[in-house]
Structure 1
Amino acid sequence: MWFVIEDHDSLFVMSEGVHFLGIGVLAYKIIRKRNCGGLSLRSQELTALFLATRLFCSFMMEYDIHTLLDLLTLLATGWVVYTLRGPLRESYQRELDGLNPLIILVPCLLLAVVAHPGTRHAYAFKILWAFCVYLEAVSVLPQLRMMQKAKVVEKFTAHYVFALGLSRFISCAHWVLQILDGDKYLWQALGSGIWPIMVLVSEVVQTFILADFCYYYVKSYAEGTGIIHLPAGIV
């Protein structure tokens, strides 16, 4: 990938494109099937929260193609949240979506206070930026937990989560390749101290969180079954 793609920043655009593809699968399921079974409302709300936080910070700290992509992704995610809470709430499997979001939000906020960018921006903006980085890394946990409880993963939900895993792998590659290239702008933007390390760790964590699911997804289709059974220890 290092040699194939010279403009590594295009990997971020590719990552968001794959994410959009996953949301498109959800949109098809919701619109055509009129059913949201298997989808975690908590994961969608956490995703909307980190996107909204990152969008706000982007307006305050930087404005580029990333800002536009985040806005489009936030609007799409907001629509999914609306359908889960509104028109299709009867098909939402609330009993399977039991992971308390505070278990995720509180550690992310505390970690943001400890490790955040060392840039010249306002302190509150630096905390919020770090918070959205950490939250993005673990926002999919309620969805994985819900699928684990269900044992068998619904087809369209599986497509979406696989797209999410692929998107985050590409995003992780985007950061790693820039670091290997010694991108001076990247290091200036990240600042000094522990923050650059935490950004890389967050990218790696969110990739590995979905690695197991992606393995079982590929395995099920390679075997020709298309039915994904998750073992108890995936989350």
Structure 2
Amino acid sequence: MKATKRPVQAVATWARRQPPKIKVFLAVVSGLAALVFLRMVVHDHDNLFVAAEAVHSIGISVLIYKLMKEKTCAGLSLKSQDLTAIFLAARLYCSFVMEYDIHTLLDSATLLTTLWVIYMIRFNLRSSYMEDKDNFAIYYLVIPCALLALIIHPTTHHNIFNRISWAFCVYLESISVLPQLRVMQNTKIVEPFTAHYVFALGVARFLSCAHWVLQVLDTRGRLLTALGYGLWPSMVLLSEIVQTFILADFCYYYVKSVLGGQLVLRLPSGVV
């Protein structure tokens, strides 16, 4: 095992010492390589979206296991869970009134488990909640997303309220993890179950982003036309990319920690 770890650790050390611009370039190249691999391996790219939702569900399952086994919510952001419940509720509403399908059932299950996590943090495990560390004002996220949804939303034939709700949940989902990242940055040390949960979110976001990008490539841009005209199609893609890059830095340190055999993840300053 040591022989396999040393080259990986050497590459990780080399990458860590590179200037920020080189790191961004390496991240982009790695992302493109992963997209090419997924395009070759996964023939039905709709499966990537289902896989993203499945990985998200696995992440929440890890979170539930943490709450039930360790009887503590230390290191978790209640505000991120609140934001997750808000965008899931909005997306579930849109799914019911616009296109009822398998994703409706998946979102229903995810919303119910998220509400259960919120209940546990607010009531059963309140004494272990790090309220002083969870200090991101969520109205700085909700209000801009709502205003942006009023301005830029789908131009489909659906009711205007439904279209605005759809845009709102897309925008809010892309930044809902920011309070959780703030908590981890404030504590500097992330225990394993929380790290697994956030890493699962990062993988889910990448799979979802890959789904949209590959769909656009496969349809030669016709998918964007199907979403409507104006800025909305571009904003959908941008939101997916933003979600992925927000979590990319954390995922790098997570993988580095796992390869180094560390159970507890220590974040350096400036990661979030």
The TM tier, using the shorter chain, reads over 0.9
1:175 counterpart residue number: 212
TM-score (norm 2): 0.84
Identity %: 60
Write out the 4+ residue segments of structure 1 that deviate beyond 6 Å after TM superposition: none
TM-score (norm 1): 0.97
Structure 1 alignment gaps of length 5 or more: none
RMSD: 1.2
Tell me, yes or no, if structure 1 residue 11 matches structure 2 residue 51. no
Moved more, 225-234 or 2-11: 225-234
Residue 146 of structure 1, aligned match among 183, 187, 200:
183
1:104 counterpart residue number: 141
Residue 159 of structure 1, aligned match among 196, 221, 232:
196
Residue 183 (structure 1) shift: 6.9
Residue 188 (structure 1) shift: 5.2
Q: Residues of 2 paired with 1:186 and 1:70: CA distance?
A: 23
Residue 186 (structure 1) shift: 3.5
**What amino acid is aligned across from residue 79 of structure 1 in structure 2?**
W
Residue 258 of structure 2, aligned match among 221, 231, 234:
221
Secondary structure, counterpart of 1:2 in structure 2: helix
1:37 counterpart residue number: 74
**What amino acid is aligned across from residue 158 of structure 2 in structure 1?**
H
Q: Residues of 2 paired with 1:126 and 1:199: CA distance?
A: 13
1:117 counterpart residue number: 154
Residue 24 of structure 1, aligned match among 48, 58, 61:
61
**What amino acid is aligned across from residue 21 of structure 1 in structure 2?**
I
2:86 counterpart residue number: 49
1:132 counterpart residue number: 169
Moved more, 63-72 or 142-151: 63-72
Cα 1:189/1:54, change in 2 over 3 Å: farther
Q: Residues of 2 paired with 1:183 and 1:52: CA distance?
A: 32
Q: Residues of 1 paired with 2:174 and 2:153: CA distance?
A: 15
Q: Residues of 2 paired with 1:226 and 1:163: CA distance?
A: 16
1:233 counterpart residue number: 270
Larger C-alpha radius of gyration, 1 or 2? 2
Q: Residues of 2 paired with 1:228 and 1:217: CA distance?
A: 7
The Cα offsets for residues 177-219 of structure 1, whole Å up to 9 and x where unpaired, read as 1000017874454111111100000000000000000000000
Secondary structure, counterpart of 1:129 in structure 2: helix
The Cα offsets for residues 55-95 of structure 1, whole Å up to 9 and x where unpaired, read as 00111111111111111110111110010111111111111
